[in-house]
């Protein structure tokens, strides 16, 4: 049995826009708090392994936050991890599907339309579509494809009705590692993956990997997921980029969402985002915290039992 004396730790953090904050406490317990758009409570599980902790969620960058933690005498069992760190946000799936030949060796190209499947459609800002077009520059469009390479705020862009995971001037020419994939194996669901994309002009010293999940109105959404999902892996490109939804009209209309404008690398390993659609517009989000459940060299179980110290 491992025991620890009772104590209280508290801190106040003021977050600034797009700022990453690290907090160090109890020796090597480092909590990396990365800004997201929505507030989440910070919860910590004490492991009593060299003072490490599991960070269960991240917090908003736009407000002041206070957290306090009190640990009573604990008995911890089945701790197999020797070190614990926050896990990187993952892609929705590692099953990428079929490589799209055009987007996997081009600059500023698209393909489609890629169908959701028989009887499957999506109402996107008032218009109904049976499929979408995939673009090499990090977005999908509806009605017709696009090859625009200059990123724009999604709520004011007038290119096409668009969902952008990472709208920037990506490049995949003459590079075997840069590829775009489409997984359409499930009726009503299209998963598009941009893997290790470089930047114009054939700059492969930077890489971007991210994924969009787009589901039809007929798809049965379950659990904590949504209809439209944004997922980010490693992005080292510092070029300007944008992300979100847009109806293709210059005016800002209800439901349009420009949740990111900045350096592409600012979305690297960021928390996934799920959106639900109602009457074709995003009306709610299902935040997915950057949870750290299986970490380090392998944490298979954790049992915490509060006990009173017995007098000898």
In a domain, residue 92? The reply is no
Our count of domains for the chain comes to 2
Q: Same domain for 195 and 83?
A: no
Domain of 279 in residue numbering reads as 98-287
The answer to whether the CB of 76 falls within 8 A of the CB of 48 is yes
Q: Same domain for 21 and 151?
A: no
Per-residue pLDDT tens digits of the chain, which is 312 residues long:
333 333 333 333 332 223 333 333 333 333 333 333 333 333 333 333 333 333 333 333 222 233 333 322 222 222 222 222 233 358 999 999 999 999 999 999 999 999 999 999 999 999 999 999 999 999 999 999 999 999 999 999 999 999 999 999 999 999 999 999 999 999 999 999 999 999 999 999 999 999 999 999 999 999 889 999 999 999 999 999 999 999 999 999 999 999 999 999 999 999 999 999 999 998 766 554 443 322 332 323 332 323 333 333
Q: Same domain for 296 and 223?
A: no
Q: What's the pLDDT tens digit per position in 167-208?
A: 999 999 999 999 999 999 999 999 999 999 999 999 999 999
pTM of the model as a whole:
0.67
In a domain, residue 245? The reply is yes
Sequence-distant (6+) residues with CB within 8 A of 197 are: 136, 138, 170, 171, 172, 178, 180, 207, 208, 209
Q: Same domain for 71 and 133?
A: no
Q: Same domain for 51 and 103?
A: no
CB atoms < 10 A from the CB of 230, how many? 27
Sequence-distant (6+) residues with CB within 8 A of 256 are: 154, 155, 244, 245, 246, 247, 281
Cα 299–chain centre separation: 23
Q: Same domain for 115 and 236?
A: yes
């Amino acid at each position: 049995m491992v025991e620890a004396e009772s104590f209280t730790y508290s801190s106040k953090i003021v977050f600034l826009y797009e700022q990453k904050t690290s907090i160090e406490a109890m020796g090597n317990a480092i909590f990396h708090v990365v800004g997201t758009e929505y507030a989440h409570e910070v919860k910590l599980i004490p492991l009593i392994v060299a003072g490490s902790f599991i960070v269960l969620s991240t917090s908003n960058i736009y407000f002041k936050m206070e957290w306090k933690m009190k640990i009573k005498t604990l008995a911890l069992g089945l701790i197999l991890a020797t070190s614990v760190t926050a896990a990187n946000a993952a892609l929705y799936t590692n099953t990428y599907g079929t490589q799209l030949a055009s987007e996997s060796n081009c600059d500023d190209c698209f393909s489609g339309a890629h169908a959701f499947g028989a009887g499957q459609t999506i109402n996107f800002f008032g218009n109904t579509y049976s499929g979408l077009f995939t673009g090499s520059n990090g977005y999908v469009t509806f009605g017709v494809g696009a090859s625009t390479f200059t990123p724009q705020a999604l709520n004011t862009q007038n290119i096409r009705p668009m969902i952008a995971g990472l709208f920037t001037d990506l490049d995949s020419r003459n590079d075997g590692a840069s590829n775009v994939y489409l997984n359409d194996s499930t009726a009503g669901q299209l998963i598009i993956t941009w893997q290790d994309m470089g930047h114009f002009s054939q700059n492969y010293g930077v890489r971007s990997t991210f994924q969009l999940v787009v589901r039809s109105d007929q798809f049965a959404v379950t659990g904590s997921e949504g209809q439209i999902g944004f997922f980010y892996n490693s992005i080292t490109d510092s070029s300007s980029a944008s992300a979100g939804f847009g109806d293709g009209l210059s005016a800002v209309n209800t439901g349009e969402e420009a949740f990111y404008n900045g350096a592409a690398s600012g979305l690297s390993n960021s928390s996934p985002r799920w959106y639900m659609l109602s009457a074709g517009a995003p009306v709610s989000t299902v935040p997915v915290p950057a949870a750290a459940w299986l970490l380090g060299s392998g944490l298979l179980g954790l049992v915490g039992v509060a006990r009173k110290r017995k007098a000898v």
